[in-house]
Amino acid sequence: MGTRSALDHDLVNIRDDILRLGSLVSRAVERSFSAFVTSDLQLAQEVIRGDDEIDSLHHTLEGHITTTVALQQPMASDLRKLIADLLITNELERMGDYAEGISRTITRHGEEDTLKVMDQMKDMSALVIDMIDRVMKAYLDESPDKAKDAARYDDQMDVLYRQHLTELVTRMGTGELTIEEGIYLMWAAHNLERIGDRVTNIAERIVYARTGELGGLNPKEKKRPG
């Protein structure tokens, strides 16, 4: 197999594995929130165990990408794509950790009482799953425009998160929620908000891979790193 053919083969395999990783993460986020809403301890434990598969695929991708860079010595756009792919796999792995964190909240709370999940948090969950699906479609299509569109929804996520925190404080102040319940709800909402931030980071990597432009989102659309 010639050098170009070997590189193309590696790029396709890496792309397919990243798409699979994105699918695993999207499913983990959806199932973790379902477990949270219903206080389903069994489902929560399944999500926690499933994070091992996400971690394993992440490590496989890291190895594949770094080996491809070392052996194939890609240049220009191919190298940018591999650098972006490496960063995207890290973002997806962290998103899986946030989903696992939501599930671990249920294992701490137990199944005795279903938590009083507010509408803003349900909207956050639906929105972030949609954002993941949009950004992974942008990745597949190598489309900076679609990546930017996916990132723009994070403004809506931030609004919902602030509304959720405000209502949490109000309900805790009136005694409608206990402090313990409020903390669980706050942790889970924070994890959803951070997943949205990671989607924005992935969008930036997609723009970089195609254009070479760092920080390729509009300033108001960019999120803090981490």
Render each residue's pLDDT in the chain as its tens digit; 226 residues: 456 688 989 999 999 999 999 999 999 999 999 999 998 999 999 999 999 999 999 999 999 999 999 998 888 899 999 999 999 999 999 999 999 999 999 888 765 666 778 888 999 999 999 999 999 999 999 999 999 999 999 999 999 999 999 999 999 999 888 888 889 999 999 999 999 999 999 999 999 999 988 776 754 444 444 4
Domain around 216: 3-221
Quick check: is 226 in a domain? no
Quick check: is 211 in a domain? yes
Quick check: is 46 in a domain? yes
Q: Kindly report the number of other CB atoms within 10 A of residue 149's CB atom.
A: 16
Task: State pTM to two decimals.
Answer: 0.90
Quick check: is 165 in a domain? yes
Domain tally, the chain: 1
Alpha-carbon dihedral angle through residues 94, 116, 152, 208, given to the nearest 10 degrees: 0
Quick check: is 98 in a domain? yes
At 107, which CATH number?
1.20.58.220
